[in-house]
Amino acid sequence: MEFLMNDGEWYVWTLVLISILTILMMPKKNLTWAGVFITLSVGGYLAWFSNSVIGSSIDLFDLAQKKTTEFSDASLLTFVPPCIATIYVNFYNPQKGWFFAITFTLVCFVLEWLLVIVGYMENINWKTWYGIPVYFFFFKFFFPFLLRLLSKKLVKTES
């Protein structure tokens, strides 16, 4: 197994490590650990589904300059997007919904853009900015909806 052999793989592993450490150490504001695991699962499913359809089936981009899924690809998809979603849901404040949605949309855009810059992601028929409306939809509408769906036992309520 090759490790750190692809361009930009160091960046992927840095993102994975920071994402995991952030989830483990962040104060649980809106979520309990059960809510964290549910949000990680939903975010992971969405990341893998999106990559399967857009990255593999339609072939709009490649990760690690390969047509196969490498260990670093799997780690990136399994941890980074779900962790970002979980951080968002955990700290989301409905009164600042626009601020949260725009901020996290920009963070995701920059992280994806850096994947391209460091050479880990190759856009084929995709432009990095195409993701902006998708990120915005999920952060403005989907993840706040998910937070409302989680039961009161999974969401912290102030006593």
Using one digit for the tens of pLDDT, what is the confidence trace for 12-63?
Answer: 999 999 999 999 999 999 998 989 999 999 999 999 998 888 766 666 677 7
Q: Which tens digit of pLDDT belongs to each residue from 50-72?
A: 888 876 666 667 776 666 667 88
pLDDT at residue number 7: 78
β-sheet bridge partners, residue 62: 122
Work out the average pLDDT over 82-98.
96
Q: How many domains in the chain?
A: 1
Neighbours of 49 (CB within 10 A): 11
The answer to whether residue 154 sits within a structural domain is no
With respect to residue 38, please indicate whether it lies within any of the assigned structural domains: yes
60 in a domain, yes or no? yes
The reply to whether 132 falls in a domain is: yes
Classified as helix, coil or strand, 57 is helix
Q: Does residue 136 lie in a domain region?
A: yes
Tell me the residue range of the domain where 49 lies.
14-19+30-149
Confidence (pLDDT) at 18: 97
Q: Is residue 103 part of a domain?
A: yes
The answer to whether 115 and 11 are in contact (CB under 8 A) is: yes
**pLDDT of amino acid 24:** 96
The verdict on residue 155 lying in a domain is no
The amino acid sitting at 17 is: L
On whether residue 4 sits in a domain, the answer given is: no
pLDDT at 144: 93
